[in-house]
Structure 1
Amino acid sequence: MTVLLLGALVLVVGGCVCVVWADRGGPRWVRVVATVTLVVGEMLRCVDKGRRRGLNRSTNGGGD
């Protein structure tokens, strides 16, 4: 379990480094990794937003 968490942390930190490096004009592969990182981050944000909406609906009790 610890190995998986460390692996995820390394991927996140590496993605962030690539985003900063690509912003400063890094090589093509860095721009690709940065784009993938930003797209995955946006997807996770959308999933979280949808999950929050569903949570608000269920805790509301159905009444307005």
Structure 2
Amino acid sequence: MKNKLKVLRAERNWTQADLANQLEVSRQTINAIEKGKFDPSLPLAFKTARLFSLKIEEIFEEETD
């Protein structure tokens, strides 16, 4: 799944650890999501969207290959 997490995080000058703390997950989880190695759970996707005041589909996008 493609996502804009790294860009959104960078716009706020947040580290992966900063974002992880706010979402109550590990920094490794944020790293894996940003690299597309891990898709967030639905509750985590909703929590992320609320944090950035965006819709889930504005952050996460299904890859169509």
TM-score class, shorter-chain normalisation, is under 0.3
Q: Bigger radius of gyration, 1 or 2?
A: 1
Higher relative contact order (CA 8 A, sep 6+): 2
Q: Name whichever structure is richer in strand by fraction.
A: 2
TM-score after normalising by structure 1:
0.24
Q: Name whichever structure is richer in helix by fraction.
A: 1
TM-score after normalising by structure 2:
0.24
